[in-house]
Amino acid sequence: MLTRRTIVRAAIGAAALSTLAPGRLLAQGLTPQEVFFDIDAPVLGNPKGDVTVVEFFDYQCPYCKKNHPVMKKVVERDGNVRLVMKDWPVFGEASVYASQAVLAAAAIGKYQPAMEALMTLPGRLTEEDVQRAFKGAGISMKDVIASVNKNSDRIGALLDRNYQQALAFNFAGTPSFVIGKTLYPGALDKAGLIAAIAKARKA
């Protein structure tokens, strides 16, 4: 069994956009390095891109799942965007289980197929759903469980950092984004994503 952690569920909501102060992101002391370049956070897109998009997401969030194909297309077509995926499992234990499983898969070189397998599943998840999705993607749960056991402290610390960052940004739920120096609490459509990336690139 994968280990679990209880995280307080947050309501999905939206708030006015806010702009981050240069140099320091927050009074609490978060730096751009910590938010954009966490060594344990999975990176998609162009790892050397000139703009970094940070997405806080949950595998049970319907808006995250709906938004994911749009994000993929925008990042792929742009070609110069780093997409940093920050698991923020706010929908309960099944979300924590899913995040731990995918991050364990990342540690054995299977991040993208594991993440994509869960992003395509509709509705609420169970542990059995995660296991079946991994099997369908050709990912061995035996290997994943071994990876969880080996990397549990590292995975737990990453989830803790993500959680604390999301709270520090006053995000109300998933998805939420940090793009350049601007916070985007809520889903972004294709036009919104393109505009946010262009704004960050000009800054």
Residue 109 burial (C-beta neighbours within 10 Å; 0-12, 13-18, 19+): exposed
Burial of residue 79, with CB atoms counted within 10 A of its CB: 0-12 exposed, 13-18 middle, 19 or more buried: exposed
Side chain identity at residue 135, one-letter code: K
Task: Specify the pLDDT at position 203.
Answer: 86
Instruction: Write the burial class of residue 98 (CB in 10 Å: 0-12 exposed, 13-18 middle, 19+ buried).
Output: buried
pLDDT tens, N- to C-terminus, the chain (203 residues): 443 333 332 222 233 345 554 444 443 578 889 999 999 999 999 999 999 999 999 999 999 999 999 999 999 999 999 999 999 999 999 999 999 999 999 999 999 999 999 999 998 999 999 999 999 999 999 999 999 999 999 999 999 999 999 999 999 999 999 998 899 999 999 999 999 999 999 98
Could you tell me if 83 and 44 are in contact, meaning their C-beta atoms sit under 8 angstroms apart? yes
pLDDT at residue number 24 = 44
What element of type H or E holds 179? strand 176-179
Predicted confidence at residue 9, as pLDDT, reads: 29
Residue in 163, 121, 153 with CA at minimum distance from that of residue 6: 163
Rounded distance between C-alpha atoms, residue 138 and residue 159, angstroms: 25
Q: What is the CATH number of domain 29-202?
A: 3.40.30.10
